[in-house]
Amino acid sequence: MPTADANIMSMSQRVTLAQTQLQIALSNPQMHNLFEAYRRVYEALGTKQIDTLMKPEPQPPAPQDPAKENAEALKMQLLTVFPQQDHDAHIAAHSAFMMSRMVQINPQVYALLQSHISEHVSMKATNEVMAQLMADPQMMQMMQQNPQAFQAQADPLIAQRVAQLTTELQQAESAQQGAQQDPLVRLKQQEIDLRALDLQRKAEEAKMKEQGNMDRQEAELALKMLQLEENSDQADERMDVAREKLELAKAQAINKSLRGEK
């Protein structure tokens, strides 16, 4: 049967492993599931009812209609493109919304929607090229037998289609702006575009910095919990040793008394 010392050592090893995993995850949160890393820390500590302690694990985003995405953009929420969406409809809806005064005076929202449209363009181009290639039995066989070679064939075609779609959108936007705006307004729009890109970049940097501060605070709290647990384990070990020494001293005293020793 395993001894108490072996059990303590095993728990100590689990805590150390969980601590190391958490530190690695926090060093690059984009590549790791921080929720799972913290859960493992609590499990190693023997915490009961972890689900009541931690917030529910974030759910992946779900597809939304263009109107809801426009509303989310006004709140500066990041938007997600899904392969099964009607990309033409989304691009048209977002492009029309970007011409509204509400968006025109808000460079950050404008840049967010422009970035989202570019993602739709990329996804649409990918879907079209893949559909064409899958209609060719030879390409389908290549995809199954040599995926890398297949991707090497597909990537240039996707890039070409992205360029075509982007040019078409720019031409349509220029024609619409030319019919509605005078040269001074177009010049102002170009200025807004540049400001939008700069503000979007600064907003993303600030958000990453804020997230990094939150992750660091959570890491410090978790490490303090681990230290407290380790200190508690060490205190228990010292008490056990002292108790054993006391019992041994009592036994020795009793033996001496029975033998008549002083």
Residue 237 has pLDDT above 90, yes or no: no
What confidence score (pLDDT) does residue 60 get?
76
Predicted TM-score (pTM) of the model is 0.52
Residue 231 has pLDDT above 70, yes or no: no
Closest CA to 82 of 61, 103, 97, 102: 61
Residue 235 has pLDDT above 60, yes or no: no
Give the model's confidence band at 1: pLDDT under 50 very low, under 70 low, under 90 confident, else very high.
very low
Give the model's confidence band at 239: pLDDT under 50 very low, under 70 low, under 90 confident, else very high.
low
Calculate the average pLDDT of the chain: 79
